[in-house]
Structure 1
Amino acid sequence: MVFKYSSLLKTSSAIVLLSGGGWTCYQIYQMKYAITHILKTEVLEVEKKRAEYIYINDPTFKEEIDLFKDEKTDIFKRLSVFQWWVSWKNSLAWRLLHMAQTGDQRDRLEAVRSLVDIKDLKDSDYRQLAQACDARTAVGLARTRGVDLRFFLNPPYFHEKVTKIEILDRLRLLLQDLIREKPHPCIQYFLSKAFPEFQHRYKILDHDITSIDSPESTIPNEELLPLTLRNLLHHSAVGDNAKDIAQKGGLALMTTIYKFCEDNVGISILLASLLANISIHKDLLEDIFRSGWIGILAKWSQNQNIRLSAPATKALANLDSDDVRTALYPRRVYLLHPTWRRSPRPKMDVVFVHGLLGGVFVTWRMRDQDPWSTPPETGEQYYSEDSSRSISDEKTKEYLAGWEEEWKQLGLDYEFVMDDAPEDCNKQATGPFCVSSHDSYCVHGSSLSVLETTQCWPKDWLAKDCPYLRIIGVNYDTSLSMWGPMCPEDKSRGTLVERSEALRLKLLEAGVGQRPVVWVTHSMGGILVKNMLVKAWESSDPVQRQLTVNSKAVVFYSVPHKGSPLAAMAPTAKFFLWPTIEVQELQENSPALLDLHKRFLQMLKEIPMDIISFAETKPTAVRPLHMEVFLVPPKSADPGVGEYFQIPQDHICICKPASRRSFLYQKLLHVVSKLSESS
């Protein structure tokens, strides 16, 4: 019986369990529903409710909406590409900077060049790169054309404000500290005149005077700062004093002066010259870099004023250890071209040596235009296509077009005589004396107007016409009278032989003689070069002789081979003038000059050179003597060898061309171009 209803019991139990489970689940669901619906959800959905739009069924609006969507997509695409490009440039700049700091010499040069070519980085990127840059790379950047000045940091503590009194006091302390170890009579004398109150205190302590009145400075207040800097520059030109200035905190003081007088070009020139003297000591590169001077030198090297850009360029060239083409340019030797790293490799050196009372930035400038003379041609057209557009008549337009074509043809087969054409010449003279119309640089746009002048024609003209040159300018101090102040520490003054020897050593240090050389001289500079070449030729040292062997031409602008009548003045004039040693040695028919010229001619027989001589045919006004004299008569300017030309100019203007089509310049250009092509 039990077994008979067992299956029924199992079935009933299963039904009861399922029913109970279903009822339980239903109750749970009902309870959850009741709890969740206590608060109406419409209240919570108010903020999430979408705005209701009115859709306009107009195909015009649909096209504009689709166009907007396409433009929006393109903008996002371009934005993403631009962001990728900026990020890639930034990453590339960092990789190039790393290569410039860790690669070999060739890689460093290429990395710096490529780093400068990257443009339009953000200011923050430039600042970060500048902070990570080392001294060697900074110099390379500064010597690369087109560098962004944001690659360089400002000097430390550049934000601090100082007064002029504080600057002068620090300069005085620096000068006193310098002469305490290395006495310098000039500086001691200047300090006694500029800061007598401090000198007075020392005398009181030493019981050297009995008066207690404090004297006042005899120098005007506005001239005190430039005069103090000029004396510091003078002190730096003696021995290793420039290194002492840097080691005694002079670099930081100079940055303070630069900030205080940033817009004063005269002060900037003095600071740049000081840095040029300090740059001779390459071991001071880190000190110069940490002082923030590399960026300032880079800025100055791009300045239009050659008196500022030349010493800045020289300082950077001296500090550049990666460029194998650079040399060490000592004091008074200036690199005029090339001024950048990425310049053509020089085939030849052209060295300019000025004469008495001259200088690199004085002798070799363009001649001042006569305001009463006819302005030079500028190639300006009086008729152009723009003016013909205002003409409505077609026949008139056709006639003018034909007339213009005929006018152009007329101007293709003419020549004109150069400016400063010679009045006379010898049989060896070959010219050229005319300029062809095909030489467009000599006809259109090259003749500068009265307002357009060049401060240094070797740098601005010769470097463009013959880019494969290294152009060097030499400076040295000269004077007519012994009445002027002379420093007992200045070893550069002396006889012509001593001066030429000092010049020879400086030029050898700059690498002159390692490639073909052309010498361009004016007045006494020609005597110095002749003596230097003869001494090198007579030397048994092969390095010394190389200077003469590699000399290919000498250009003499009014050089007194046989002396000058200025040195043979009347005894009364000599008493008042008291001529210097160099003036006395230039006496007319001086045995020393005649002997030097004889040896020079003998040297030319063994080592032939192109000799070009220009003689003055106008007297020069000597203002101190209130008279006009031939400083170098044509007979004295004729060396008796090579090409000889008499030019209608005086002694001062004989080396200053009026324009690029001047014979004084074109003849030199012809010689240099010929020798450069054969090198």
Structure 2
Amino acid sequence: MRNLNSFLLPTHFLRAQPGLDETPCGRHRTRQPAGSRARRKAMLRDAAAACGTVAQLQQANWRVFTPCRAWLSNESMSLSAYCVLCCRRIGTSGPPTKNDLPWKDLRKIAKLTGSLTLGGFVFITYEVLALKKLLKIDTQAVQQEKLKSYIYVHRASLDPSEYQGITYQARKELHKAVRKVLQAEAKILRRPFNEHFSTFDAEEHECALWLLLKRSQSEDKMVRLQAVQDLARNSHWHDYQYRTAAQACDQRTAIGLARSQDIDLRFFLPPPPLPKVKDDYAIEDELRLLLVSLPQTDLDQCVQYFTSLALRESSQTLAAQRGGLWCFGGNGLPYCETLSKIPSETVELFCLQALVQHSKVSTHCDKIEAKGGLQLLQRIYQLRKDSAKIQRNIIRIIGNMALDEHLHSSIVRAGWVSVLAEVMKSPHVIQFSHAARALANLDRDTVQEKYSDGVYVLHPQYRSSQPIKADILFVHGLMGAAFKTWRQQDIDPSLDEKASEGEEDYSECWPKTWLASDCPALRIVSVEYDTHVSDWKAKCPVEAHRKSIAYRSNELIKKLRAAGIGERPLVWVSHSMGGLLVKKMLVDASKNPEMDKIVNNTRGIIFYSVPHHGSRLAEYSINARYLLFPSAEVKELSKDSPALKELNDDFLSFAKDKKFPVLSFAETLPTHIGSMIKLHVVPVESANLGIGDLIPVAVNHLNICKPKKKDAFLYQRTLKFIQDALARELGS
């Protein structure tokens, strides 16, 4: 606001006005008649009032010169000057004082502010409480989950008054007293305490689980076997009960559960977590380090060769870093030789196949376990779930290591029992049988036999209360295998319009499916000997002597004795060269007093196209011979082979003396060898042993042991021979 001093009249103007005279407020005052003094006093009072109004207008930031100018126009100049002087005095008197609001207005403001504050506080409090209620978690469901995962069984109530009354409580107390008396009596008289009395004071939901777990660890073998069987039958328990059993059962019980049919996998703890690895972690490097750490001297020459071959298949980068030679038993093998980039999975397979050979040596199994091999194999198994061949080799290694009982606890701690139990549910016969062999070697409670590498039990593969009365042993021919040789005959859809109808009943191994269902009291065993030491195209250069009938027979009969072959009545079933091995084993056993049981318990032999008098294969070109058989076998299968003639003569004299039945099947159709050669591998005259029955069948050499279906003549005649040979044992 502009200062009022700027609007004051100058002093010389006041002096120039007539009628003014000096006054105390200025130097002049008005000169008027005396009669008008009363009127001047009234005007001065009005001017003073006007000056007060001007002062108020100054506080309200109004311009005061406008009313002053209006006043000067209507009144006398002296009165206006007096008003201006008063305004000037007011303008120079300092800042005006602030007037307070009336108390009535303050009360209104206080009421309004208080209402708003209180209402806002109530609203915010309500919203916070409502939000807290919405975000609150219902812990009842969480509490139930905690109860299920807890190791102990949750009791319904701890207040005895909530139970079934005084009579029930009295009966419980009486049961406790009786149990204590019986326990004391058993302790004094040194008699076994009947575990049935342990249930007297237990609740129904407590009794089943804990009593079975206690019985499964009983010193009485029959009691613990029955307890494991009862545990395996439970399929209606809650998750927490299965978890309780998994945590409470011992090693022996866990293995027994894994060998139980249709077992619930919740009985087993998952494998322990493995340490985290770096981003540049390579499995093949770990396998190489494990192979290098194993003993390198005093090894079988083929084990040395295949170990070197596995290590040779490495990347050029590793070769440059390592340099030099890898030596095994003095045989140097440079990295720079035949280097090629191959997939890492293939390198892992090479290393695992070499590790299979090492796992056949007991001392090497100890080294594998000490170097963390079980954990490494577990990691590879989890990473290579899409490779059936890698997993099969890993389980094969575990089965070999399980032959050493002192390694059982390490195998169980590494989590392999749960893995094997899961594989036992596989629909693939080969995977299933490898896992069954490993678990059988781990199970020392019901299995006394040990199944070496290449010996597989096709039935029974689970624990069974049914006694085994006899054994059936299947021996495949050269280029065959323990499973694929005995599969159902492949059906050509182009030749059979109804081929699709039989696909559901197709058997990958008819002894396991058909024969086991027809003769459940038999133990069915299939053996496998290496036609190649591995699946690699490269052959072991010192392997020739291993392919002879004498060597393979000697190695095989050792494994069969460890598997308990000869302890029960036995029927041999063989195909092609496998029949020659059977004859050689029986002849050698007849000359060894320690193997009398094998000879005396033999009840019969079945031969499928066995070349008793040699094969025409040796008459064909060298290419055809290499295509089917390695050179060592070809030489022994020639018609002029003295070893083959001597074996046949010895067996005939032995068989005629023992007088056990013999059944021979002979092929009548030629076999396609590749796309160019068609060969009648074993003629009818060569398949004729000279004793027993000879039955020609219109099939080729490969299909002579593969029935087309279960009611086919080939299988039905085989089944009848087995049932007749074991009629006394089977009771029919």
In the other structure, the counterpart of 1:114 is 230
Confirm whether residue 285 of structure 1 aligns to residue 408 of structure 2: yes
User: Structure 2 vs 1, CA of residues 215 and 592 (structure 1 numbering), >3 Å: closer, same or farther?
Assistant: closer
In the other structure, the counterpart of 2:7 is none
Superposed displacement of residue 195, structure 1: 4.2
* Cα deviation code 1:220-256 (max 9, x no counterpart): 2343333332332233235643343223211111111
Confirm whether residue 268 of structure 1 aligns to residue 391 of structure 2: yes
After TM superposition, the structure 1 stretch with the greater mean CA deviation from structure 2, 100-109 or 555-564, is 100-109
Superposed displacement of residue 132, structure 1: 1.8
Distance 2:356 2:625 in 1: 32
In the other structure, the counterpart of 1:524 is 577
Superposed displacement of residue 354, structure 1: 0.3
Q: Secondary structure, in 3 states, of the residue corresponding to 2:516?
A: helix
Alignment of 1:264-663 (within 5 A): 264-323=387-446, 325-375=447-497, 449-450=502-503, 452-478=505-531, 484-487=537-540, 493-539=546-592, 541=593, 543-570=594-621, 579-623=630-674, 626-663=676-713
User: Structure 2 vs 1, CA of residues 528 and 449 (structure 1 numbering), >3 Å: closer, same or farther?
Assistant: same
Confirm whether residue 148 of structure 1 aligns to residue 264 of structure 2: yes
Q: Give the aligned residue type for 1:274.
A: I
Distance 1:586 1:106 in 2: 51
After TM superposition, the structure 1 stretch with the greater mean CA deviation from structure 2, 261-270 or 493-502, is 261-270
Distance 2:222 2:250 in 1: 17
Distance 1:313 1:303 in 2: 11
Distance 1:100 1:576 in 2: 55
Work out whether residues 238 and 489 of structure 1, in 8 Å CA contact, stay in contact via their aligned partners in 2: no
Superposed displacement of residue 194, structure 1: 2.0
Superposed displacement of residue 263, structure 1: 4.1
After TM superposition, the structure 1 stretch with the greater mean CA deviation from structure 2, 144-153 or 566-575, is 566-575
In the other structure, the counterpart of 1:133 is 249
In the other structure, the counterpart of 2:159 is none
Q: Give the aligned residue type for 1:582.
A: E
In the other structure, the counterpart of 1:176 is 292
Q: Give the aligned residue type for 1:116.
A: A
Superposed displacement of residue 189, structure 1: 2.6
After TM superposition, the structure 1 stretch with the greater mean CA deviation from structure 2, 257-266 or 312-321, is 257-266
* Cα deviation code 1:147-194 (max 9, x no counterpart): 211111111115957768432322221122125567623212321222
Distance 1:131 1:275 in 2: 23
Q: Secondary structure, in 3 states, of the residue corresponding to 2:571?
A: strand
Distance 1:237 1:522 in 2: 26
Work out whether residues 575 and 610 of structure 2, in 8 Å CA contact, stay in contact via their aligned partners in 1: yes
Work out whether residues 489 and 703 of structure 2, in 8 Å CA contact, stay in contact via their aligned partners in 1: yes
Q: Secondary structure, in 3 states, of the residue corresponding to 2:352?
A: helix
In the other structure, the counterpart of 1:250 is 373
Confirm whether residue 203 of structure 1 aligns to residue 326 of structure 2: no
* Cα deviation code 1:292-340 (max 9, x no counterpart): 00011111122110110101001111111110x5411111111111111
Q: Give the aligned residue type for 1:457.
A: W
Q: Secondary structure, in 3 states, of the residue corresponding to 1:102?
A: coil
Distance 1:597 1:490 in 2: 25
Distance 1:214 1:619 in 2: 43
Superposed displacement of residue 672, structure 1: 1.4
Runs of 5+ consecutive residues of structure 1 not aligned to the other structure: 1-79, 379-447
In the other structure, the counterpart of 2:721 is 671
User: Structure 2 vs 1, CA of residues 487 and 179 (structure 1 numbering), >3 Å: closer, same or farther?
Assistant: farther
Work out whether residues 531 and 547 of structure 2, in 8 Å CA contact, stay in contact via their aligned partners in 1: no
In the other structure, the counterpart of 1:223 is 346
Q: Secondary structure, in 3 states, of the residue corresponding to 2:426?
A: coil
User: Structure 2 vs 1, CA of residues 205 and 235 (structure 1 numbering), >3 Å: closer, same or farther?
Assistant: closer
Superposed displacement of residue 572, structure 1: 7.7
Q: Give the aligned residue type for 1:137.
A: T
Q: Give the aligned residue type for 2:217.
A: Q
Distance 2:336 2:661 in 1: 68
In the other structure, the counterpart of 1:15 is none
In the other structure, the counterpart of 1:68 is none
In the other structure, the counterpart of 1:101 is 217
Work out whether residues 463 and 469 of structure 1, in 8 Å CA contact, stay in contact via their aligned partners in 2: yes
In the other structure, the counterpart of 2:180 is none
Q: Give the aligned residue type for 2:403.
A: I
Distance 2:484 2:365 in 1: 26
Distance 2:416 2:260 in 1: 16
Distance 1:459 1:347 in 2: 17
Confirm whether residue 190 of structure 1 aligns to residue 310 of structure 2: yes
Distance 1:156 1:517 in 2: 43
Give the TM-score, by structure 1 length: 0.71
Superposed displacement of residue 568, structure 1: 3.0
User: Structure 2 vs 1, CA of residues 130 and 372 (structure 1 numbering), >3 Å: closer, same or farther?
Assistant: same
Distance 1:197 1:288 in 2: 35
Q: Secondary structure, in 3 states, of the residue corresponding to 1:342?
A: coil
After TM superposition, the structure 1 stretch with the greater mean CA deviation from structure 2, 557-566 or 234-243, is 234-243
Distance 1:466 1:578 in 2: 35
Q: Give the aligned residue type for 1:102.
A: S
Distance 1:163 1:193 in 2: 22
Distance 1:481 1:563 in 2: 27
After TM superposition, the structure 1 stretch with the greater mean CA deviation from structure 2, 161-170 or 510-519, is 161-170
Q: Secondary structure, in 3 states, of the residue corresponding to 1:218?
A: coil
User: Structure 2 vs 1, CA of residues 358 and 343 (structure 1 numbering), >3 Å: closer, same or farther?
Assistant: farther
User: Structure 2 vs 1, CA of residues 224 and 124 (structure 1 numbering), >3 Å: closer, same or farther?
Assistant: same
* Cα deviation code 1:343-362 (max 9, x no counterpart): 52111100000001000121
Superposed displacement of residue 635, structure 1: 0.6
Q: Secondary structure, in 3 states, of the residue corresponding to 1:462?
A: helix
Aligned residues: 523
* Cα deviation code 1:482-508 (max 9, x no counterpart): 995233686982321111111111111
Distance 1:106 1:575 in 2: 55
Give the TM-score, by structure 2 length: 0.66
Q: Rg larger in 1 or in 2?
A: 2
Distance 1:481 1:322 in 2: 34
Q: Give the aligned residue type for 1:371.
A: P
Q: Secondary structure, in 3 states, of the residue corresponding to 1:360?
A: coil
* Cα deviation code 1:75-117 (max 9, x no counterpart): xxxxx99xx9x96344321221122123321111011111112
Superposed displacement of residue 204, structure 1: 5.8
